[in-house]
Amino acid sequence: MLRMLSQRTPTPDVDRTDASREGVSTSREGASSANGTKKKLAFVIAHLGAGGAQRVAANAANALVERGFEVHVVVLYQRPEAYGVDPRVVIHSESPRQIAALDFDQDPADEQPAQVKPGGPTKPVGRVERLKASIMRSPRLYSFAIRVLGPVIAAYHLTRITLLLRRRIKEIEPDAVLSFLTQTNIATVLATRGLDTHTVISERNDPRLQRQRFRVEFLRRVCYRWADVVTANSKGALAPLEAFVPNHKLAFLPNPLSATPSSEAATFTAPTVITVGRLVEQKGIDVLLAAWAKVVAALPDWRLALVGDGPLTGELKERARTLGVADSIDWVGHVSDPFPFLRGAKFFVMTSRFEGTPNALLEAMVCGLPAVVSDASPGPCELIGSGDDAAGLIVPVEDASATADAIVRLAHDETLRRRLGLAARERARAHDADHAIDVWLKLLGCE
């Protein structure tokens, strides 16, 4: 059980200068089109449940309506909202019966929640779902279906969602459309072909390391060049896109932080190292647990807080028990507001196998936390930096020993933590909501 108390801090972590406020005022004046009506922006995303892209979409939508834009969010399938979305944002949700079988931009380990009637048993929704359930009961039939019918079914679903999305975008008539994540990007580019709207798509991870099905990778290479702008949330992630997207269409799109982060802080009863993220293979929590098993001997009074949940929760808890470190770990679960936990911790650790620009790391930096991160992808390394203004320590990916050494080093050196924490707060300013949204508006053609 997590042992902590809550207290209030008087001011938010992100400072806003007079210049940034003036920038907001100017942008609000520019939020109207020539005929005096509000400019319309449409976001397209798989869902608004837990996830980094979802948090970014919510933060950006909230910031844009605050500036006077009319913002619509089209979600491709239903999932409970994980983050607070301003009530002025118009959310369009397609029928779960129509597209429940789609797996757009889900982690392969995730399963879409079944649609359940109140008081009734869980049943597949729609003819396609029932057919899928019957096929999966026969291993031989399932293997045949994957090899032969998989591409056909995928093409059917892509056509269906593209037509649904095209109809919805025509109804909204936005000045610009922005989509998130690879498969949704493909559908959005196809849906907006020939429409008079500015289409921007956004990669949210490391294209070099994030595994995609062959057909998805093929369609990405064909369709991405048709977008008006192709963005990534780290500069290093743009490099692999140069192989199939004209260079003049590529742009860096920074993750905007919440404009009004909560001011609460958690007071842990022991010095605590924290990580925040989905408990999936990508996040490398198994590496962190192996590192923590090496740390506990040197830091018997310290604790590890894991904020997040996911399909590997049970497996990882069992792994912690096997390593003998279960008693020194707090499994917090998913929270919509991680800031109180971040403010209460001593420093942050991230052992991901690949990343884009992780919101969790950015939020830790805003709170003045130094970090230990793996070097698997450009995004986290760009945030941490190097030299005198570095905001943390970078360790080799999959290296539990190096991760343990870095954790122990930071735990023993308070002066180093303070120096890295000040640098972290400064480096995070580039992702302040006011600054980041100015970049978004430029790329959306809505300055």
On the question of pLDDT at 120 being above 50, the answer is no
Weakest mean pLDDT among 113-117, 148-152, 153-157, 414-418: 113-117
Helix (H) or strand (E) run with residue 232 in it: strand 229-232
Residues 91-106 have pLDDT tens digits of 998 644 444 334 445 4
Query: Which class would CATH give 264-431?
Result: alpha beta
Q: What is the pLDDT of residue 121?
A: 43
Weakest mean pLDDT among 103-117, 119-133, 337-351: 103-117
Q: What is the pLDDT of residue 19?
A: 33
Q: Are 376 and 231 in contact (CB under 8 A)?
A: no
Q: What are the CB-based long-range contacts (under 8 Å, 24+) for 421-424?
A: 421/347, 421/368, 421/369, 421/370, 421/391, 422/368, 423/385, 423/389, 423/390, 423/391, 424/364, 424/365, 424/366, 424/368, 424/369, 424/370, 424/371, 424/391, 424/392
Q: Are 83 and 52 in contact (CB under 8 A)?
A: no
Question: Which residue's entry shows tokens 């757009």?
Answer: 104
Write down the CATH number for the domain with range 31-108+121-256+432-443: 3.40.50.2000
Instruction: Tell me the average pLDDT across 380-385.
Output: 95
Q: Give the span between the Cα atoms of 124 and 126, in whole angstroms.
A: 7
**195 CB-near residues (< 8 Å, 6+ apart):** 166, 169, 170
Domain residue extents for the chain? 31-108+121-256+432-443, 264-431
Instruction: Tell me the average pLDDT across 373-402.
Output: 95
Q: What mean pLDDT, rounded, does the chain reach?
A: 84
Q: What is the pLDDT of residue 96?
A: 43
Distance of CA 97 to the CA centre of its chain: 26
Fold match flag (31-108+121-256+432-443 vs 264-431)? yes
Question: Model confidence at 122, in pLDDT bands (50, 70, 90)?
Answer: very low
**210 CB-near residues (< 8 Å, 6+ apart):** 182, 354
Helix (H) or strand (E) run with residue 200 in it: strand 198-203
Q: Give the span between the Cα atoms of 17 and 15, in whole angstroms.
A: 7
Q: What is the pLDDT of residue 264?
A: 85
195 phi/psi in degrees, rounded to 5: -90, 150
Q: What is the pLDDT of residue 262?
A: 73
Instruction: Tell me the average pLDDT across 126-134.
Output: 65
Q: Give the span between the Cα atoms of 235 and 212, in whole angstroms.
A: 21
**347 CB-near residues (< 8 Å, 6+ apart):** 273, 274, 369, 370, 371, 372, 392, 410, 411, 417, 421
The encoded tokens of residue 26 equal: 């100017």
Question: Model confidence at 336, in pLDDT bands (50, 70, 90)?
Answer: confident
On the question of pLDDT at 313 being above 90, the answer is yes
Q: What is the pLDDT of residue 222?
A: 96
